[in-house]
A and B are shown apart, each in its own frame.
Chain A
């Protein structure tokens, strides 16, 4: 169903006399970029909507001046990038941008990577013809990570665009600057586009959109990444280093399962300490958007490690006698393969509560659908899809890439969306006008899938029993509604003048009860929606929609009817025109799920790898033997997009690695990355050496990093599904195992730019009623947490984070993500 790029929908265009192929319906600018042709542009971001703020991408297409970021290519179009008139416009625009721009390039954090500087030189601006009094613009901090120097800002609106179109927070916007009016004479003397650009620029500046001085956003820092000048910088980075001093280490974001491309930027810590330190994380922002954990949780390296032979020997002993190895998903594919080898050779149990449920769900899904893995990915969704459905996934917290894709579809593809989740979220409805949110009761995920079947399935293909089950929810109701009715009433009125009674007719509006027959969808009501309004809303959502996709999250893997849900998902795929993507919970969960045979429970002597255990291997520097953290080791990670991605070591590590233990225990190759080639091909991996893995994007945004997992598809019969188990619904006080955005594990928590605390997160009202501190009592234990109000949560469900392994939150929740608990004020 995903649109395959064939020769058919490629058209040919001519740029400056050379013929090129371009995708139909593409913007001229993107077509040019894909073909390695340079058209100057400041305000345009590849995966966002055109802003038309800078206007320097002006080109001539078929004799008419158009903006390359906003005009689509047509068959046979002839494009000229530079004409004398356009060059004059562009030069005037750059002159305008330079008016009153502070001459502090020497200290600016852009340090030469500045687009303003580049285009000023590119267009040969060597004198200034325009002037206007400057306005004082204050430097402010927008949040704990964002630093905005309004004086340097050229109001290209890239930050606001990316925040709205990609991130979905819409946390910043343009506001009035209060600058001086342009001299009227410029209107005639200046090039037209330069004048209108200046007119707008002179009036605006960027500020948090909530009217306060602080952004209430997810602190992803993407706005700072896209800033072409030094106006938006991370607070931690301001004036600490020049860009040219930093060495870029290509890597993969370690914490979420997005597999986002990042660069760790390193240089020596200080004059005295010459060991390298990570100063910041940057990304190829035209092709990939980072979340807060990827950008700001970077300094989690294990610095204390040394080759402690005594600890090493005791680790070898511990592993020899270990019955279980407990680990989590913060592990490379190579290490996962090592652990699996240990299991095979030494018979040790592998226990991983983070991944186990996910792995089981994947197996159910494979058995039911015949697909070895899900059928789409977030990049494809952003490119093609115009209708997204999210079930069982706390978009804002679990999977940033899913949130971005969900939002991007609404903004760029004129899409619509359905969001099913028990926890209310005020942000999701703001993604688009045609986003319907269902805050259903906990445990009704099956019903959500049945609703999807009802709405999208080809009824011919559906099994009879499913069809009749769905129909059983439809109720033809005779409803009494109140309707206005105008009646003529005749009255006898005594005419006072004549003293006679006269008949007068009056028009009276009355509310009359009227009976009508309505077919209501009981599923909608069951899921907490309003069935009477949904039909009309859905009809609106479905207008001109062609490509549908569904995002599934962790709630489903931990559902007690997970098998039935996996079957329903398979049924949805088989009968509806919907592609599916699933969220691996955290980091390399998919890699672990594919490589390790995980056991149900732990028993006996346990070695914990970054987890609790009788003997602890830890990259946090707190265990019995030190291990390298993710930014200290080479290896591959498997991402949500089904890619195996290479990551590199950014900082030094002096201790032992898992591979050294393997050498002592069962024998192993020289280096960790020698395992890369041995990743099992029957699980979709390829026998490619680590050093041969590519790590780049193509000009048109094609992701060329690593390789895509081979997936297989076997024809299967439609799965037998069970009915929705309405008795599984949880009531009462409910806790949801969910981390605050930017927190994923102990490593994010260790990073100094992540501030979200290990607390109970609740809606403002709920937090007020709970007080400052509560004890959350589960069946099998309790945990005492501070209460933090999250304005974006609605409803009574509270979120209990799990990012600290030592707190054992996974053990408290057991096989579920939701638990009924007792909240006791402390």
Chain B
């Protein structure tokens, strides 16, 4: 795009094509003729036939073209940013979050808060974690900044709830331990790039 075009801010004028919509009927007779023409055209029956064909297919050949929401849901893009999920390590089942606080820091609507402590195993334990979904704008920065891919955006887009608090705590977002085998690796923003291996420099190890 040349700079000149870029600077033309009269959007909607320059490169649109106008469709031929015919003439607008003026007299009462003309209007009547237009209605009759449109009503009794064969297209109406084409439409009826298509609907009937699909209905018969659905009823007798089990070939359904709609999704029975909320019983069925379409798969959504891994880049979709819905309610956050907290993932676990596949090997140990321990939560991935290391409590670094980067999500808390980067959050532009300042809705993440966490508490950490020094635990008995000399590790940083996340004792409390919460996202205020009343403020969250689902920008995805938290998932992008997370060095452990611990906090990610899940596909759960149904946010209706009696209380927002019902999915804002760590335990609510954390993969249930018995569903660890169902945990999906995250492919959205912040995920490891497909060519990540090529970008890594090796560190010499003497042992």
Contacts and interface: CB of A to CB of B under 8 A. Distances in A.
B105 A271 contact: no
A720 interface: no
A132 B118 contact: no
A128 B203 contact: yes
Interface stretch (A3-11, A234-242, A305-313, A603-611): A234-242
Nearest to A237: B118
Contacts of B116: 239-241
A238 B118 CA distance: 6
A127 B128 contact: no
B207 interface: yes
A245 B206 contact: no
A780 B43 CA distance: 115
Contacts of A238: 118
B201 A111 contact: no
B122 interface: yes
Given A139-B122, A245-B104, A271-B128, A239 B204 contact: no
A133 interface: yes
Given A239-B99, A240-B116, A271-B115, A133 B124 contact: no
A603 to B, nearest CB: 52
Contacts of A270: 115, 128
A241 to B, nearest CB: 8
B108 interface: no
A139 B100 CA distance: 20
Contacts of B128: 270-271
A131 interface: yes
A675 B82 CA distance: 56
A405 B140 CA distance: 54
A222 B97 CA distance: 32
Contacts of A239: 99, 116-118, 124-125
Given A127-B201, A131-B204, A242-B101, A106 B147 contact: yes
B105 A245 contact: yes
A271 B169 CA distance: 11
A130 B204 contact: yes
B59 interface: no
B98 A107 contact: yes
Interface string B1-30: 000000000000000000000000000000
A717 interface: no
B27 to A, nearest CB: 72
Q: How large is the interface on B (under 10, 10 to 19, 20 to 34, 35 or more residues)?
A: 20 to 34
Contact of B101 (A111, A126, A132, A139): A111
Interface in A495-533: none
Contacts of A240: 116-118
Contacts of A131: 203-206
Interface string B185-207: 00000000000000001011111
Given A139-B122, A238-B118, A270-B115, A107 B100 contact: yes
A638 to B, nearest CB: 39
Nearest to B114: A271
Contact of A107 (B105, B124, B205): B124
A270 B117 CA distance: 12
Contacts of A106: 98, 100, 102, 147-148
Interface string B120-145: 00111100101000000000000000
Interface string B47-71: 0000000000000000000000000
A244 B128 CA distance: 19
Interface string B140-163: 000000011000000000000000
Q: How large is the interface on A (under 10, 10 to 19, 20 to 34, 35 or more residues)?
A: 20 to 34
Contacts of B177: none
B113 interface: yes
Contacts of B118: 238-240
A129 interface: yes
A319 B101 CA distance: 50
B105 A242 contact: yes
A129 B201 CA distance: 11
B98 A271 contact: no
Contact of A132 (B104, B114, B115, B206): B206
Given A106-B147, A128-B203, A239-B99, A271 B130 contact: yes
Nearest to B104: A245
- Tell me which of B102, B114, B206 has the highest count of chain A C-beta atoms within 10 A of its own C-beta: B206
A451 B98 CA distance: 64
A129 B206 CA distance: 11
Interface string A104-147: 00110001000000000000001111111100000100000000
A124 to B, nearest CB: 13
B201 A133 contact: no
Contact of B204 (A107, A128, A241, A245): A128
A133 B104 contact: no
A437 to B, nearest CB: 41
B204 A129 contact: yes
A132 B125 CA distance: 31
Nearest to A132: B206
Interface string A240-257: 111011000000000000
A106 B102 CA distance: 8
Interface string A720-761: 000000000000000000000000000000000000000000
B170 to A, nearest CB: 10
Interface string A140-166: 000000000000000000000000000
Contacts of B99: 107, 239
B166 to A, nearest CB: 16
A271 B113 contact: yes
B45 to A, nearest CB: 64
A245 B101 contact: yes
B94 to A, nearest CB: 14
B14 to A, nearest CB: 49
A359 to B, nearest CB: 47
A129 B122 CA distance: 31
- Tell me which of B98, B104, B115, B147 has the highest count of chain A C-beta atoms within 10 A of its own C-beta: B115
Interface in B83-112: 98-102, 104-105
Nearest to B99: A107
Contacts of A133: 206-207
Contacts of B203: 128, 131
B204 to A, nearest CB: 4
Contacts of A244: 101, 105
A105 to B, nearest CB: 8
Contacts of A245: 101, 104-105
Contacts of A271: 113-115, 128, 130
- Tell me which of A130, A240, A244, A271 has the highest count of chain B C-beta atoms within 10 A of its own C-beta: A271
Interface string A259-282: 000000000101100000000000
A668 to B, nearest CB: 39
A106 B116 CA distance: 13
Contacts of A128: 201, 203-204
Given A106-B98, A107-B98, A107-B100, A126 B201 contact: yes
- Tell me which of B98, B100, B125, B148 has the highest count of chain A C-beta atoms within 10 A of its own C-beta: B100
Contacts of B100: 106-107, 242
A202 to B, nearest CB: 12
Nearest to B169: A271
- Tell me which of A139, A239, A244 has the highest count of chain B C-beta atoms within 10 A of its own C-beta: A239
10 contacts: A106-B98, A106-B100, A106-B148, A107-B99, A129-B204, A240-B118, A242-B100, A242-B101, A244-B101, A271-B130
A-B CB proximity, top 3 nearest? A106-B100, A131-B204, A131-B206
Given A106-B98, A107-B123, A268-B113, 20 more contacts: A106-B148, A107-B100, A111-B101, A126-B201, A128-B203, A129-B204, A130-B204, A133-B206, A133-B207, A139-B122, A239-B99, A239-B125, A242-B104, A244-B101, A244-B105, A245-B105, A271-B113, A271-B114, A271-B115, A271-B130
